[in-house]
Amino acid sequence: MWLINSSIGRKLIMSISGAALVLFLLFHATMNLVAIISEDGYNMICEFLGANWYALVATVGLAALVVVHILYAFFITWQNYRARGNKRYAVSTRQEDVEWSSKNMLALGVVIVLGMGLHLFNFWYKMQFTEIMHAAGAHINDIELATNGVHWIKETFACPVYVVLYLVWLGAIWFHLTHGVWSALHTLGLNNNTWMPRVKCISNIVSTLVVLMFAAVVIYYGLASLGCCGSSCCAA
């Protein structure tokens, strides 16, 4: 199949799945920003996006996109590694035009995946997954707090360790997106001399906007919790 065997096909899958994930990040970041404006409004969104059929379908679709994107990222990296052969051991001059993020996309991706696991534990596991398990008859966690997103935001970012970890994670996401968005648009055809500077500008704007919205929530509730540390992480 050319989507697997062809270099262009693999890059196309990476670009499409990456673009879809960026759109999700824009939605998720905008939704999170509501928590600063109206906590009740944010909890209403969390209830709407709980263990309802449409939210579950979207969750499965999102998980599939993430898995495809990660698998293709490792596959492309491995293919590039094998293609270089003995040349990878040769000492070469440093390429000034190659961005740091471009040369470290896999490492950034690993950090992002680890941060994703932490994020799923802190929020998805305690919210949507709790609703799913209660509906199945397995009573884990507190079902009363399953749609109280603000509670879990406050609980998580009451711990300075989590604040720092999330900001590091967001930094990795920013570096990954600044190259990833540009690369996706480049692969999808916006690669002429006229569009290249615009594409890079769009990549930086989108990446910065997404990360700043996420970071605003982390910093806002992190600062709000100063002086009263209620999480088990801080208690430890």
62: Cβ–Cβ under 8 A, 6 or more apart, which residues? 21, 24
What's the pLDDT at 86? Answer: 54
Least-confidence region, from 93-97, 125-129, 162-166, 225-229: 93-97
Q: How far apart are CA 77 and CA 83, in angstroms?
A: 10
Tens of pLDDT, residue by residue over 45-101, are 999 998 899 999 999 999 999 998 888 877 777 776 676 655 544 444 444 555 666
% of residues, the chain, pLDDT over 70: 80
Phi then psi for 161, rounded to 5 degrees? -60, -45
What's the pLDDT at 105? Answer: 74
Q: How far apart are CA 145 and CA 150, in angstroms?
A: 9
Give a yes or no: residue 88 inside a domain: no
Sorting pLDDT into bands at 50, 70 and 90, what band is 192?
Answer: low
Give a yes or no: residue 66 inside a domain: yes
What's the pLDDT at 235? Answer: 47
Phi then psi for 142, rounded to 5 degrees? -110, 110
Give a yes or no: residue 42 inside a domain: yes
Place of tokens 């990549």: 203
What's the pLDDT at 7? Answer: 67
Distances (CA, A) of 32 to 19, 36, 80, 216, 233: 20, 8, 37, 9, 22
Give a yes or no: residue 143 inside a domain: yes
What's the pLDDT at 221? Answer: 96
Domain hosting 24: range is 2-81+104-231
What's the pLDDT at 33? Answer: 95
Phi then psi for 209, rounded to 5 degrees? -60, -45
pTM: 0.83
Least-confidence region, from 115-119, 156-160, 226-230: 226-230
Which has the closest alpha carbon to 214: 182, 176, 179, 167? 167
Give a yes or no: residue 55 inside a domain: yes
What's the pLDDT at 196? Answer: 75
**C-beta separation of 177 from 112 below 8 A:** no
The pLDDT of residue 138 is above 60? yes
Q: What is the mean pLDDT of residues 12-31?
A: 89
What's the pLDDT at 109? Answer: 84
Token representation of residue 27: 């939605």
Strongest mean pLDDT among 6-20, 33-47, 133-147? 33-47
Number of domains in the chain: 1
SS3 127: coil
Side chain identity, residue 18: G
CATH of the domain at 118: 1.20.1300.10
Which has the closest alpha carbon to 29: 209, 222, 174? 209
Sorting pLDDT into bands at 50, 70 and 90, what band is 147?
Answer: very high
Give a yes or no: residue 212 inside a domain: yes
Give a yes or no: residue 96 inside a domain: no
CB atoms within 10 A of CB 33: 16
Q: How far apart are CA 59 and CA 102, in angstroms?
A: 29
Which has the closest alpha carbon to 32: 215, 166, 222, 160? 215
Side chain identity, residue 41: G
Sorting pLDDT into bands at 50, 70 and 90, what band is 13?
Answer: confident
**C-beta separation of 159 from 144 below 8 A:** no
Give a yes or no: residue 36 inside a domain: yes
Q: What is the DSSP letter of 159?
A: S
Chain-centroid distance of CA 30 in Å reads 14
